[in-house]
Amino acid sequence: MREIIVAGCGPAGMLAAIAAAREGAKVTILEAKEKPGRKLLMTGNGRCNLTNLDPKLPRSYYGTDPETVRKLASGIFEQFSVSDTLAFFEELGLLTMDKNGYVYPYTGQASSVLELLLQELRRLKVKLKFSEKILSATWRDGWWDVNTASWTYRCDYLILACGSRAISSTGSDGSGYTLAKQIGHSIVPVLPALTALTVKGNSFAACFGVRCHAKISLCVMAGNGKENASWETLAQDTGELQWTDNGISGIVVFQVSRFASRALYNGNKVRVILDFLPEIPSVELRSVLGKLTERYSEETAGQAFSGLLPAKLMSAVLEQMRMKSSMKAGNITEKQLSSLAYVIKNLVLPIHGTRDFEQCQVCTGGVALEEVEAETLNSKICPGLSMAGEILDIDGPCGGYNLQWAWSSGYVAGTHAARKSADPSKENEIRFRESTE
């Protein structure tokens, strides 16, 4: 009987263990924390956004090489799709609900998902070992010696599903990258993603806590500041934005943040352009502003425009133009009205950075995808090894995409690990030994 150790008891690790056990393998999960699924309990604000019904989901993921990401994701989702995920959880006894394509447990509680997964692990007699952080793993003579502070475990197959560096307090402290690197894998620099952005010289600090609707365009300076330099738009999204004490947050910001992380890491200048009224064309907005100043000519600018944007935000926008919200609306010039319409539609904020790993939902970067087999997620570097979940250089947007990747990659990795011949291929054995000499 194949003996498999899964590193990590998060979504990917649990699915890998379940899939391997269903194929007849003897499975042990080693979890660094004292309790399982801590990050899973936080997903969807505690409600667990299980997956997304987006028909373009396989093409919605990012990584260093977009073409490699697209091919790998498509292949993995063909083996364990969104439909398979829903059928899997239905089999476990979980009722789900669809909210505009976002799928949640009917209970509205992530704890329901975790409990059903743990029940299935117990039913399959998977061993769960908590407070057992893997310190090292050594392959020799067809076996893995997996070392923790208290014990050395032996197995003939190891699945790394240790997560990323996002919210290390949940157990994903980046140690999986260290293990993969020690074994011989390359790590694409790991950076925060799905996180807030900080703004240089934030003149909108007074808007702290304000929420508003906006279209965001994330732009990067191409050309490294040379004469031919120009701004390139890398990502756009529309939705609710929230102002923080030093920048901007909200799902609409999270969706573009991974591009900011990578560009800033590469030394590029980054900015965002905010359109606070994306559904209203510029010409129409200019007309609306003119009519409001005529109607409320004896009122203040803040009062005249109070129906357009939240009061604090409107005041900050006027401050950007060296105008006061207390100025008389009837005294605003035609030129100022045109400028105001432009700024409302094109407010530029220079980006200083992102929040740190403790304040991001996932990471961008990880184990290089070209070093794993696209169909199985088995390592090309070392025999008897595969990886699943966030440890790989693939990340998705908010909305259930990253959990779906965890379910699918975990199930595929576990299934193929259990089915793989007990004797790893000589080709991989030779490649591994050459890489460690």
**Which two structure tokens, joined as six digits, stand for 419?**
């089915």
The whole-number average pLDDT for the span 30-50 is 95
- Is the pLDDT at 100 greater than 90? The verdict is yes
Query: What is the percent of the chain with per-residue pLDDT over 70, rounded to a whole number?
Result: 95
Cβ burial, residue 83 (10 Å; 0-12/13-18/19+): exposed
Question: What pLDDT does 437 receive?
Answer: 47
Distance of alpha carbon 369 from alpha carbon 372, whole angstroms:
6
Task: Characterize the bridge pairing of strands 385-387 and 157-160.
Answer: parallel
pLDDT band at 424 (very low <50, low <70, confident <90, very high): very low
> How many CB atoms are located within 10 Å of the residue 20 CB?
29
The dihedrals phi and psi of 278, each to the nearest 5 degrees, come to -65, -20
Q: Which two tokens stand for residue 302?
A: 């803040």
Q: What percent of the chain has pLDDT over 90?
A: 90
Both tokens of 3, joined, read: 């003996």
Q: Is 12 helix (H, G, I), strand (E, B) or coil?
A: helix
Distance CA 101, CA 49 (A): 10
Core vs surface per residue 323-341: b (16+ CB within 10 A) or e: bebeeebeebeeebbebbb
Burial 160-172 (b: 16+ CB within 10 A, else e): bbbbbbbbeebbb
416: amino acid identity, one letter: H
Amino acid at 307: G
Structural domain boundaries in the chain? 3-192+363-436, 197-354
Please spell the DSSP secondary structure of 375-411, one letter per residue: TT-BBSSSTTEEE-GGGBS-B--TTTHHHHHHHHHHH
Summarize the confidence of residues 305-325 as an average pLDDT. Answer: 95
Q: Give me the mean pLDDT over the 27-33 stretch.
A: 97
Specify whether the CB–CB gap between 105 and 50 falls below 8 A: yes
Instruction: State the pLDDT confidence band at 74, using cuts at 50, 70 and 90.
Output: very high
Residue 130 per-residue DSSP state: -
> What pLDDT does residue 225 have?
58
What is the mean pLDDT of the segment spanning 264-271? 96
Predicted confidence (pLDDT) per residue in 113-171, tens digit? 999 999 999 999 999 999 999 999 999 889 999 999 999 999 999 999 999 999 988 98
Mean pLDDT along residues 382-389: 97
pLDDT, mean over the chain: 94
What is the CATH code of the structural domain delimited by 3-192+363-436? Answer: 3.50.50.60
CB 190 within 8 A of CB 45: no
Burial class for 291, CB neighbours closer than 10 Å (0-12, 13-18, 19+): exposed
CA–CA dist 332, 423 (Å, integer): 80
pLDDT at residue 201 in the model: 85
Query: What residues contact residue 208 under an 8 Å CB cut-off, 6+ apart?
Result: 243, 244, 245
| Length, in residues, of the chain | 437
The pLDDT value given to residue 383: 93
Residue 434 has pLDDT above 70, yes or no: no
For residue 91, the model assigns a pLDDT of: 98
Cβ count within 10 A of residue 282: 15
**3-state DSSP assignment of residue 175:** helix
Average pLDDT over every residue of 343-363: 96
Q: Residue 224: its pLDDT value, please?
A: 60
Residue with tokens 């390359």: 186
Sign of CA dihedral 426, 431, 435, 437: positive
CB 17 within 8 A of CB 417: no
Question: At 71, which amino acid appears?
Answer: K
Give the pairing of strands 143-147 and 127-129: unpaired
Condensed to tens digits (0 to 9), the pLDDT of residues 187-245 reads 999 999 999 999 998 789 999 999 999 999 999 997 665 666 789 999 999 999 999 99
**Alpha helix positions (H), 32-171:** 66-79, 82-92, 110-123
pLDDT band at 378 (very low <50, low <70, confident <90, very high): very high
How large is the average pLDDT for residues 4-9? 98
Q: Taking residues 246-254, report their average pLDDT.
A: 97
Number of neighbours of residue 226 by Cβ within 10 angstroms: 8
Using a CB cutoff of 8 Å and minimum separation of 24, what contacts does 420-424 make? 420/2, 420/157, 420/376, 420/378, 422/2, 422/156, 423/142, 424/142, 424/383, 424/384
Question: Max CA-CA distance within the chain?
Answer: 87
